């Protein structure tokens, strides 16, 4: 149903007091002022003016408001405006606030007994929390009128309470958010856990008007108190600290927030809280647990006096505080431990996962790893030493320049497979042939002179010419041999492993220069680089397997023949050269191939095989640092 136009309604003066139409008008007027008022004094003034217009004989009125239970309470609206509150009206307001019920006081005039004043007051309460009082002074009212006035005052105070409740909830929400932000700032301001926890509990005690706020974290099976508000130092064995710790244990064990004295809807045991109340002298206690998922790690304990109980709204806010601040303080507490303590706590947590409840997956993995370690300790396997290996020819022949000269032809180069007698390269022999022709001519000349001397029977000349003839023949033989050597052939069947003369045609060479290297294809040896940490276990005659990078699917057996007693540095480690004979033949093998070789040592425990290098390293480090 739509509301009628306010301008068409009758004024309050046109309606008699107590008339239903008058009340409906007041209802609509209050609704307008309720929705438009921006402050409590503005709404209270309008409300008081409308209330006094409903009654006849009202001389004064007042609305007194204050903060929730804490005060101070001050008049925010007075009628008529500009007047002061009469003493009688102040007294009845104080009485109604103290007794928290509607109160009526009568005051007779001694000079005129027929004339007397009546003072009415009604407290403003929301959920048993006092927010203020409204009071009226009425002249010459009968008892029936006073009952009617009190009933209308109680009805009208509902509007005032609605306005107060709306504003108090908004203000309370803002204040709670502000407090949470300040608590986070206080916790983050300090790097150390102790300072941060002290700042948080002291701030909570001050802002929530608590006598004492305590912070505890779980240590083993019981709670340990780490901070008390307004107390930098405290003894852990004092009766008060033990009582607080027991109260926290009681809340942790029951996994819930505990309020003492217990409300009707709370089902829990509060024996430890009762002991704390007697020991600490607090009438109201609220213990809030702090948890991270399924793990409880701490608790906050709040203590107040009798006039400040913990309501449901306060309980919900404290639980929010614990949920927000608890994990932050827990992180600081964990980070602030000594390194040895962190290691011990981690070890204890690991043990609890193994022997405690839940964590079934972790227990299964631990069981499997334990069974694997036990198996490795008893099962034996092959102990093999691995090293980088290179395939070499058993015999490697170097082909050198036979004479000084120039390369004329290059018929083979590295990688070519050659047979015995195949021409490899030739050296230019023109100078040698010219020298051969020269000595041949000289020989002919000496021979003619030698025949002439024989004919003349000149013995001395014959002997001299005979020596010159022998010299010429020797020189010719030498030149012929040198000419023959200019054609270099393969000494055996094999493969050229190094050298490429095709890029050096016409270049000079000197006698003895290594030009090509040839290795056989049917005899190989393996050079294995063994780390110095493993060389003590290697013996001649041991067998092994070779896997080449070019042929990863094939394993070639070998036998150790020689261990070189000189090490060489490679990749930052000392390695010994171990030579082995390859006991296999494969047309795919070529000298220079690289791979990995594994030398079979003996049978040993698998656990030792996989861990001996690390154990030896630890043993060496211990010996190095031992005094």
Mean pLDDT across 468-475:
87
pLDDT over 80 (residue 180): no
pLDDT tier at 68 (50, 70, 90 boundaries)?
low
Cis status of the peptide bond prior to 30, with omega within 30 of 0: no
- Domain topology for 6-172: Beta-Lactamase (3.30.450)
Asked if 385 and 599 count as a contact pair (C-beta separation under 8 A), the reply is yes
Q: Computed from CA positions of residues 596, 600, 604, 605, in that sequence, does the dihedral angle turn out positive or negative?
A: positive
Asked if 131 and 168 count as a contact pair (C-beta separation under 8 A), the reply is yes
Give CATH superfamily name and number for 190-336.
GAF domain (3.30.450.40)
Predicted local confidence at residue 15, as pLDDT: 33
Nearest partner of 35 among 170, 159, 174, 173, judged by Cα: 159
pLDDT in tens, 494-505: 778 777 887 888
Predicted local confidence at residue 595, as pLDDT: 94
Task: For 172-256, list the strands marked E by DSSP.
Answer: 212-219, 222-228
pLDDT in tens, 96-130: 888 888 888 887 665 555 567 888 899 888 767 78
Helix (H, G, I), strand (E, B) or coil at 281: coil
pLDDT tier at 555 (50, 70, 90 boundaries)?
very high
Q: Does domain 523-625 have CATH number 3.40.1170.60?
A: no
* C-alpha–C-alpha distance, residues 286 and 315, integer Å: 8
Express as a percent the part of the chain with pLDDT over 70.
Answer: 89
Cα–Cα distances in Å, from 262 out to 214, 287, 311? 20, 12, 11
Q: Computed from CA positions of residues 102, 108, 113, 117, in that sequence, does the dihedral angle turn out positive or negative?
A: negative
* C-alpha–C-alpha distance, residues 202 and 572, integer Å: 61
Q: Computed from CA positions of residues 616, 622, 625, 627, in that sequence, does the dihedral angle turn out positive or negative?
A: negative
Residues 6+ apart with CB under 8 A from 57: 138, 139, 140, 141
Q: Is the pTM of this model over 0.75?
A: no
Highest mean pLDDT among 11-20, 67-76, 407-416: 407-416
Residues 6+ apart with CB under 8 A from 67: 131
* C-alpha–C-alpha distance, residues 451 and 472, integer Å: 16
488 alpha-carbon distance from chain centroid: 72
Express as a percent the part of the chain with pLDDT over 90.
Answer: 12
* C-alpha–C-alpha distance, residues 359 and 451, integer Å: 119
């Amino acid at each position: 149903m739509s509301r009628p136009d306010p301008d068409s309604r009758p004024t309050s003066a046109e309606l008699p007091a107590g008339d239903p139409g008058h009340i409906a008008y007041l209802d609509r007027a209050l609704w307008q002022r309720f929705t438009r008022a921006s402050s409590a004094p503005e709404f209270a003034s309008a409300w008081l003016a409308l209330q006094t217009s409903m009654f006849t004989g009202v001389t004064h009125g007042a609305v007194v408001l204050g903060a929730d239970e804490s005060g101070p309470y001050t008049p925010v609206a007075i009628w008529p405006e500009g007047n002061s509150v009469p003493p009688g009206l102040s007294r009845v307001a104080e009485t109604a606030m103290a007794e928290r019920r509607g109160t009526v006081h009568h005051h007779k005039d001694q000079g005129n007994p027929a004339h007397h004043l009546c003072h009415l007051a009604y407290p403003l309460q929301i959920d048993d929390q006092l927010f203020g009082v409204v009071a009226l002074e009425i002249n010459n009212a009968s008892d029936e009128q006073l009952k009617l006035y009190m009933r209308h005052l109680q009805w009208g105070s509902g509007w005032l309470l609605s306005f107060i409740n709306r504003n108090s909830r908004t203000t309370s929400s803002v204040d709670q958010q502000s407090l949470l932000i300040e608590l986070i700032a206080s916790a983050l301001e300090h790097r150390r856990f102790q300072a941060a926890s002290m700042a948080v509990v002291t701030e909570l005690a001050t802002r929530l008007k608590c006598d004492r706020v305590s912070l505890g974290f779980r240590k083993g099976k019981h709670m340990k108190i780490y901070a008390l508000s307004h107390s930098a130092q405290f003894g852990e064995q004092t009766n008060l600290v033990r009582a607080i710790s027991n109260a926290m244990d009681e809340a942790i064990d029951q996994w819930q927030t505990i309020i003492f004295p217990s409300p009707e809807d709370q089902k829990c045991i509060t024996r430890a809280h009762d002991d704390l109340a007697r020991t600490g002298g607090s009438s109201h206690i609220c213990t809030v647990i702090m948890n991270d998922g399924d793990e409880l790690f701490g608790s906050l304990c709040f203590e107040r006096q009798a006039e400040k109980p913990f309501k449901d709204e306060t309980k919900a806010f404290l639980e929010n505080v614990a949920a927000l601040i608890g994990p932050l303080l827990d992180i600081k507490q964990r980070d602030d431990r000594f390194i040895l303590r962190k290691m011990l706590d981690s070890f204890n947590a690991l043990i609890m996962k193994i022997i405690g409840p839940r964590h079934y997956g972790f227990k299964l993995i631990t069981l499997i790893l334990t069974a694997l370690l036990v198996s490795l300790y008893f099962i034996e396997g092959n102990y093999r030493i691995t090293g980088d290996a290179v395939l070499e020819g058993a015999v490697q022949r170097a082909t050198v320049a036979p004479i000084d000269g120039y390369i004329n032809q290059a018929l083979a180069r590295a990688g070519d497979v050659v047979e015995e007698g195949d021409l490899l390269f030739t050296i230019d022999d023109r100078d040698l042939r010219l020298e051969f022709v020269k000595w041949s001519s000289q020989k002919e000349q000496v021979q003619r002179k030698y025949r002439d001397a024989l004919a003349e029977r000149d013995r001395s000349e014959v002997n001299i010419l005979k020596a010159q003839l022998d010299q010429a023949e020797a020189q010719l033989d030498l030149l012929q041999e040198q000419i023959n050597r200019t054609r270099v052939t393969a000494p055996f069947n094999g493969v050229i492993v190094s050298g490429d003369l095709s890029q050096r045609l016409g270049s000079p060479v000197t006698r003895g220069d290594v030009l090509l290297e040839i290795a056989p294809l049917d005899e190989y040896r393996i050079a294995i680089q063994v780390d110095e940490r493993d060389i003590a276990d290697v013996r001649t005659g041991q067998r092994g397997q070779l896997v080449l990078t070019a042929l990863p699917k094939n394993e070639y057996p070998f036998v150790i023949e020689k261990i070189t007693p000189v090490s060489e540095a490679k990749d930052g480690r000392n390695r010994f050269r171990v030579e082995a004979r390859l006991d296999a033949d494969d047309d795919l093998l070529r000298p220079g191939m690289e791979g990995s070789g594994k030398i079979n040592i003996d049978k040993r425990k698998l656990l030792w095989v996989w861990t001996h290098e690390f154990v030896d390293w630890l043993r060496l480090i211990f010996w190095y640092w031992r005094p």
